[in-house]
Every structure is written in C-alpha cells, then in structure tokens.
Chain A
C-alpha cells in the first residue's frame, strides 16, 4: 500500500519527441496532464461526501458501479486565489499507478501536443501560489504558461493520510471550542 514515492518517468513520448497533454484550467491558470493517464473526463455528478475526510476530498462518485474518490484540485494544491468556484465544473478521471481518482477542474482544453524539449524543469520559486513539489515541469503553450502537474505526488497516499489525521485533530478542536 505504502509505495515509495514513484519516480515519474519523463513521460511517454511520442515518436516525434513530443508529448500529448490534456490541458485544464483552474482559476485561469493552465495545467496539463499526460494524456495517457487520463481515463475519461466527465461533467459534474452528485458526490457522496465522506465525513471526517480531508477537505480536499470532495467525496465519492458512482462511476458505472465503481466507487471513485473525487479530489478538489484547487484545495489540494492550496492555490492562493480566492475566486469563487466556477458553475459548470468538470471531473478528470485519472489512473495514477492503478489508483483511479477524479479531480475537479474548472474547464478542460483541447489536447495539446508539446515538444518534449520545450518542457522545462519547475522553477524553484512558487508558481502561482502552488508549491513546486507538485510540478513536474512547465512549458509555454500559445503564449501561456502551462504547468505540468505531478499527480503521483498529489495523490501521495501517506500525505493524504497524515492530512486526514490533522483534519481529525482540528475537527476535534473545533468541537472543543464549540462545546
């Protein structure tokens, strides 16, 4: 269960040395994920919340008989922006090392083809308020900066568990102050 942090292969390249990405937008920021990880993209559907789970776990959905957790990427990445969530959200279902999870994003762009050499390592400084540990690289697409997210890191199980523990504590504390 507790796999060591898997090294992300510098991704499945096409023969012509380029990589296909699915781009998505959160708070006007462009992100990307390797197309090979994407299982499907669905529109918003009803979640069943999981009590006492970390706040970025939005809940679970019933995807044709499979129960799949849905993670709010905005919360998971702690993006600094405080813009209110968009009305019509999308859920990208990713297969991350055989763990299937859904991620809530504001919108999804078309499939992008990016030459591998254009992908630069993440800058050490924080990009748009999100810690560089979640970033595998950045590249320029149509005059915009696209951030390649490291979903292996985002779905790092130990971290999530720890976060839940924290959550539990704060919850109890909240409870304390309430009573």
Chain B
C-alpha cells in the first residue's frame, strides 16, 4: 500500500486532493509494471549488472571550483549561517 500522505510529508510537498490521486495513480502503475516483470522466468539466469565491459575511469585528486557563492545567494538557496534548512524529520 502506498501512503501518499506520508510521501507528501517527507517530500515537503503540499498536494491538492486531485494531485494526490494522480500521483497515487502513477505510482501504482509503476509498481504494477514491476509486477508484470515478475512473471519473467529468471531461473538459471545469472544476474547481469553491466552491459558493457567497461573499466572505471579514475580522476586525479585535483580541486575544482564547485557552485559559486553568488549564484547560491542569488537563488536564496541557503538559510542563515549559510546552511540548507530542512524540516526536521527525526522519528518519522
């Protein structure tokens, strides 16, 4: 069962009843899709994780500039003290 109210709360969204219904519908459809996949017989099939024989590329340990301060400030992304502020979620 999908608890749409809980998802709404955790995602810090405010949804109208109509939107809730639509999202619930979408989510159920996604889950239903996996139910269909379950029907495939995977007995004796080794899990395949990567489709190509690729080797991991390693990066040199050299610092680069990340997001710039002005952009962050312009977008008012950060709260006081330069922190991101989020709704408290302990115990949820």
Q: Do A and B come from one complex?
A: no
Binding site for A on B (CB under 8 A): none
Binding site for B on A (CB under 8 A): none
